[in-house]
Amino acid sequence: MSLRTYKYQIQPAPMARVESGEIEAKNLDDAKRQLRVQYMLSQLPNDTLLEDQSEIQENMAREKSAKAREMLRVLSEHHVWMKDSSKGARANLNNLNLTDMVIPKSQLENADMAGADFSGADLSGSNLVNANLVRASLYGTNLKGADLSGADLSDADLRGANLTDAKLEGADLWRANLMGCVISPTALHKALSCKKE
């Protein structure tokens, strides 16, 4: 039987300070027994907290897998819609939490992603031409080589984003936060339609 990780918080005595830490145990009963032995208690105080970290991690992995499956379905439907607007469906990812998603080279041209959270995601080499990314969080997002031509990035959070070799011609960067992002001056000038003197 594999061991599970339990996070605990315990106040061994009424006037003692609260102790916290992690223990490896076979199950919850084993974790409780270990805590009793560790603090020399006949029984644990009622307010003792024990959280199965392995279960939390398993739930997170299941949630991430479900999110990835849903994303693949949306991308597939969007791909069909791009070829024939009477079939499939335009990708609608408005206000979705897509943090840390790894979807490089995605075809999301004309997709509606207003308010979506792509923090820490990998969208490198993706086609985001004319995409709606109004108020989207692209904090620390990898957009290396992505095509954002004509994309609406107004009010978007691009702090720390990697925009190396990204195409930004015609992109709307009105009030976008570009602090700390990696971008070439030439690409930025094109995006802002700066004129040469």
Query: pLDDT exceeding 70 applies to what percent of the chain?
Result: 97
Residues of the chain with CATH 2.160.20.80: 91-197
Residue 1: per-residue pLDDT: 67
C-alpha separations of 115 from 93, 95, 119, 157 in Å:
8, 4, 11, 10
At residue 17's C-alpha, the angle toward residues 15 and 19, to 5°, is: 135
Phi, psi of 174 (to 5 degrees): -60, 120
Q: How confident is the model at residue 190 (pLDDT cuts 50, 70, 90)?
A: confident
Residue 87: per-residue pLDDT: 93
**Whether the Cβ atoms of residue 64 and residue 103 lie closer than 8 Å to each other:** no
Give the tens place of pLDDT for each residue, 106-137. Answer: 999 999 999 999 999 999 999 999 999 999 99
DSSP 39: T
Pick from 69-73, 168-172, 184-188 the range whose average pLDDT is largest: 168-172
C-alpha separations of 106 from 9, 54, 144, 156, 157 in Å:
44, 32, 12, 19, 20
Residue 101: per-residue pLDDT: 92
* Alpha-carbon gap, residue 25 to 32, rounded angstroms: 9
**Whether the Cβ atoms of residue 90 and residue 109 lie closer than 8 Å to each other:** no
Tokens encoding 25? 């145990």
Q: Class for domain 91-197, per CATH?
A: mainly beta
Residue 60: per-residue pLDDT: 81
pLDDT greater than 70 at residue 196: no
Give the tens place of pLDDT for each residue, 42-82. Answer: 999 999 999 998 888 888 888 888 888 888 899 999 999 99
Mean of pLDDT over the chain: 92
Residue 69: per-residue pLDDT: 87
